[in-house]
Structure 1
């Protein structure tokens, strides 16, 4: 597949023009013209780039790419080493941030909601500045006891989680927004969720959960945002006929 065709496919699938984002979505570093082998991952770290080089990839697709707002624009140090490795090996780098969070089938939030078996889903408006909903609100098929729900989350993300249990109320209505979305706990409260799941936690988040009577889960930024990159590898392989593989670079954050 030509690089231009590949980018058109990604843009058509993920619709980045619908989002006001913190980094450019799409092609971030240009590589070879023809794309046959693709590595997907969460973050364009040096370790992922090295793995892609070993895999002889033509392109890397990530959720966390480069050139974030307010970062140092100079290509020096760590950024130089990463980008120079991509250029030396003629590897294209594609980054899709909020569009991958929000996609209703391939996205991070959709993947976590699928893993938890949520039904009757609607969007959780993560921030009034976004025109599109990023998170998900849904229901479990049956109310679930707290201990059982914690086990379900830990199975879904493959790690221990921080679970702030507020009372002994069973869980039925779930709000979630993957990654660093702990600031959206108030939106979860507003829609009547019994629990809010995200990736990270701030000091004030626990106080809000306790005082407002909502269970809170911080399940890991990396762990909750593997779903989109995993889904994209399957999509690119099955739907597009490319040799695509997800490579997980472990991160405890």
Structure 2
């Protein structure tokens, strides 16, 4: 068992949120009970995750996508009221770390995704150095797509480049399709991220660099598990990961 303040200190020391310019507040977003025995980890602070955490008798929840984002109108109505009401009624703390959880060099989303694919990161790129790069054994796009599908348990969307053997991969989890040009500049033969928008298909065809969209949710399931396991062991907590499936 630990207390909420100790958990907050541990997470902040590990993830260093002050280093990042982000889209919303990182750290403790909803204050719950002081004593923490059981930590539930998940990707997004959805109502489904909160209800599952309540059923699991969680004292605190750790997520990548929290409740509060830049540009919201600030009213507590509808879905926001429902989520907050559940947390407050059951006195559960909510911790959320967005870009800090993407960027951690060992436990973050990108580091953990790379580890599952056997990619040994040798460089960083993109805004706030969120993207990772690695040299890989030469492979074709179709086989790399299959490897990703097997690792993530879902179909991926692959846009061919010029058909070259892929020797250098760049990746950034989630909605990082806007990093494609930076990945190309970093010398990638293929860029792997969660989502694709209209321009990326043209960039792939025109530059020869392949593009794979492997799912926003699917590529961001691993950072909260790495961090959750680390802080739970450090603080003597029980913990579990609850995966609320999302096709995006």
TM superposition score normalised by structure 1: 0.95
* Aligned with residue 198 of structure 1, among 193, 199, 205: 193
1:159 maps to 154
Measure the CA separation in 1 of the matches of 2:153 and 2:35.
Answer: 35
Q: Is the 8 A contact 1:40 1:232 kept in 2?
A: no
* Aligned with residue 204 of structure 2, among 197, 206, 209: 209
Measure the CA separation in 2 of the matches of 1:239 and 1:5.
Answer: 11
Measure the CA separation in 2 of the matches of 1:111 and 1:172.
Answer: 20
| 4+ runs deviating over 6 angstroms | none
* Aligned with residue 147 of structure 1, among 137, 142, 146: 142
Shift of 1:166: 1.8
Shift of 1:220: 0.4
- Do the aligned partners of residues 184 and 120 (structure 1) sit closer, same or farther apart at CA in structure 2, a change above 3 Å counting? closer
Q: Is the 8 A contact 2:11 2:231 kept in 1?
A: no
2:168 maps to 173
Measure the CA separation in 1 of the matches of 2:197 and 2:54.
Answer: 36
Gap regions ≥5 residues in structure 2: none
Measure the CA separation in 2 of the matches of 1:118 and 1:137.
Answer: 8
- Do the aligned partners of residues 241 and 205 (structure 1) sit closer, same or farther apart at CA in structure 2, a change above 3 Å counting? same
1:226 aligns with 2:221: yes
Q: Is the 8 A contact 2:125 2:131 kept in 1?
A: yes
Shift of 1:238: 3.0
* Aligned with residue 133 of structure 2, among 131, 137, 142: 137
Shift of 1:40: 0.3
Shift of 1:233: 2.8
Measure the CA separation in 1 of the matches of 2:121 and 2:39.
Answer: 34
1:30 maps to 31
TM superposition score normalised by structure 2: 0.97
